[in-house]
Amino acid sequence: MPKTLKDALQEVLDELGKEDFERFKAKLNNLPEVPQGCNRIPKGKLEEANRLAVCDLIVNYYTTAGALPVAMGVLRGINQNELAIKLQTLVYN
């Protein structure tokens, strides 16, 4: 049964170590572009956010439709390609 996007994202972010999670947040904060009609997550909201809060921020700011490609792109951007694939698999399978 497919997981919700937030559940899948939480599971994947839980696999990142502290340093990789900080890199994920930094990369998320510096996206070259955001999905059309969406606003960038403010830096102040990301700085102290834990994994669960980051999941909520991604879905709330980028909508359900934009959150998956954004999260997968950020994971690939920090060389976490396997986790990007896992995220997609968790959502669609």
Confidence bin at 2 (pLDDT 50/70/90): low
pLDDT digits (tens, 9 = 90+) for 63-92: 988 999 999 999 999 999 999 999 999 998
pLDDT digits (tens, 9 = 90+) for 19-73: 999 999 999 999 988 888 889 999 999 999 999 999 999 999 999 889 999 999 9
Separation in Å, CA 49 to CA 26, 55, 81: 12, 9, 23
Displacement of CA 43 from its chain's centroid (Å):
15
The C-alpha atoms of residue 52 and residue 57 are separated, in whole angstroms, by 9
The C-alpha atoms of residue 87 and residue 85 are separated, in whole angstroms, by 5
The pair of three-digit structure tokens given for residue 49, joined into one six-digit string = 């956010």
Sketch out the chain's domains with CATH numbers. 5-92 (1.10.533.10)
Q: How many CA within 13 A on the CB side of residue 80?
A: 23
The pair of three-digit structure tokens given for residue 28, joined into one six-digit string = 């998320």
Residue 1 has what pLDDT?
Answer: 53
Interval 3-22 mean pLDDT: 95
